[in-house]
Structure formats: C-alpha cells, structure tokens
Amino acid sequence: MSDTFQLDGAAVPFEPGQTVMQAALAAGHYIPHLCYHPEFKPHGSCKLCTVKVNGRTTASCTMPAEANLNVESNIEELNALRRTLVQMLFAEGNHFCPSCEKSGNCMLQALGYDLEVHATGFRHLYPDRPLDASHPDVLLDFNRCILCELCVRASSEVDGKNVFALSGRGITKHLIVNAESGKLSDTDFALYDKAMQVCPVGVILPKRVGFSQPIGERRYDKRPISAQALDDAPRQVDTSGNCEACEDPT
C-alpha cells in the first residue's frame, strides 16, 4: 500500500517523487494551477496553486508529497488569494477577452470564471507590448503573456530549438525571441512545435484560423476548468508526439 496525505479531508495516495499537485490530480482532486503542465517539470511561478501544508502556505506544484501531510486547498482564504492573483495577472497585461482569439480556450479566463473573479480589482498597468506578426504562420501577441515560461521550456526541452527566453527583471520582465532582429520569422519556429501548443493564454497563435471554432463551443465553454483539468491530468503523449489534451493548433 502506498503512503497517503490528507487533502481537504480526503486521503490522497502518492508515488515517491511526486509533488502534492501531481498526486492530487492523478487521484482526481483539482487544485487550481496555471504555470503547471503535466508534461513539464513544475515551475512554481504563478502561485495559483498555493495551498496550506500543515498550516504553512506553499506552492503545491513544487511541494514534494510526504506521508501524513495535512493539505488544505479549497478554502475561502486560499480561493480569495487565487482571485487576487488572477486579478494581478489581468492587470499586468492587456487582456481584452471579447476580441481575443483564445477566448474560451484560455486558462486565465477560465480560472477567472471558475474562481468567480467579478471585478478587475487593480488599476491596470497597460504595458506597451508590440505584436510580432513577422512569421508566415504564427502571430505573437505579447500583450497577454503571463510569463509562465511554458513556451520557453517546451521549445528548449522538447523542440530543442530555444526559440523563446525571458528578458528583463521585475515588472519589466517580458518574453523575447532568439534572433538578433528579435523577430520570430528569423528563427526556425514552426507550426508543429511543442511550444506552439502549450501557451495557456493567447500569445502564440496560429494565423488564419482565429475563429474557425466558434466562441461558445470551445474547451472551457463546455466544461469549467476545474473539471477539464482532471480529464487532462496525467496527460499522455502518443507516439506521434500529439498530446490528447492540448489543443490542436490547426
């Protein structure tokens, strides 16, 4: 019998080496998350997954599971924290959901609905982040970047291309492209790259397919993210490199 820890009163089994998040999702318990992706090493930056472990707050995606931990997640104090973090992410970038191609497929938006974020909360920072439309097949709209580094990780770890990196520090931190010109067209980025599939928000977009799937029939239009995320949980990649849960970019 494997060891267990307590999550909101339920016993959750885990394998050695799993984090609290990994064990929870595998056992069918949802903990909100944004920068965590089942196929990548946990990053621990968005802090949406913050839980209380034996009374102390910590990110559950990076917290190693241990026997008999007492983990609290779905409590008002933490959901209030998560609402504020979502508000912060909205205020930091330029998000105009009604006109965004990603609307309905966006994790940030879906989390906003699921956590019942009803107000903007903060003054928006309105950063100046020009688009990059140089690539024939892909548009980069940096306005929506939440700096989760999933594309950075996918491009380097899976695609072996290192197309993306982060630049700057603090609130000036932003995504850059690996080219002296700074343009995506001067890289070997391609539509079938893993980095094309992982962006939780609407930054890395395939061109010319924007609204081919109508709003209202999209991923999180059908099911709230808390249910959807569990189906995706230990996401399996098939032999052709396709991930069932990731959206098909074409």
Partner 1 sequence: MLPDNDTRFDASGQAWLNQLASRHHNDASLLLQMLREMQERFGHIPQEAVSRLAGKLAIPRARIESVASFYSFLHLKPQGEYRILFSDNITDRMLGNQALLEQMCQLLWLQPGKVSEDGLVSIGTTSCTGMCDQGPALLVNGRAITRLTHQRVQEIAQLVRNRTPMADWPADFFHVDDNIRRRGLLLDNKLAPGDVLRAALALGSDAIIEEIKTSGLRGRGGAGFPTGQKWEGCRKAPGNERYVVCNADEGEPGTFKDRVLLAQQADLVFEGMTLCALSVGARKGFLYLRGEYRYLLEPLQAVLQRRQDSKLLGTDILGHKGFDFNIDIHLGAGAYICGEESALIESLEGKRGVPRNRPPFPVTHGYLQQPTAVDNVETFCQAALALHMGADKYRTIGTERSSGSKLISVSGDCAYPGIYEYPFGVPIREILQDCGAVNTRAVQVSGPSGVCVPESEFGRKLGFEDLPTAGAFMVFDDSRDLFEVARNFVHFFAHESCGFCTPCRVGTSMLKQTMDKIADGHGTQYDLNEIENLDRVLQTSSHCGLGRTACNPVLHTLKHFRPAYENKLKSLMFSPAFDLDGSLARARQMTGRDDAGAHLKEDV
The dihedral over CA atoms of 116, 55, 9, 63, expressed in degrees to the nearest 10, equals: 80
Closest to ligand SF4 by CB, 145 or 245: 145
CA distances from 160 to 154, 187, 216 (A): 8, 12, 36
Among residues 8, 18, 27, 45, the one that binds ligand FES under rule CB under 6 A = 45
DSSP state of 95: -
Among residues 30, 36, 142, 189, the one that binds ligand FES under rule CB under 6 A = 36
* Cβ contacts of 41 within 8 Å, gap of 6 or more: 153
Closest to partner 1 by CB, 89 or 138: 89
Q: Among ligand FES, ligand SF4, partner 1, none, what does residue 199 contact (CB within 5–8 Å per kind)?
A: ligand SF4
Pairing of strands 56-59, 70-72: unpaired
3-state DSSP assignment of residue 142: helix
Q: Where does this chain touch ligand FES (CB under 6 A) — which range of 22-30, 34-42, 101-109, 199-207?
A: 34-42
Among residues 7, 20, 59, 203, the one that binds ligand FES under rule CB under 6 A = 59
Would you list the DSSP string of 184-230?
GGGS---TTSGGGT--SSSSEEETT-TTSSPTTSSHHHHS-HHHHHH
Shortest CB 169 distance to ligand SF4, Å: 9
Shortest CB 175 distance to partner 1, Å: 10
Closest to ligand SF4 by CB, 197 or 228: 197
Contact residues for ligand FES, defined by CB under 6 A: 33-36, 44-49, 59, 61
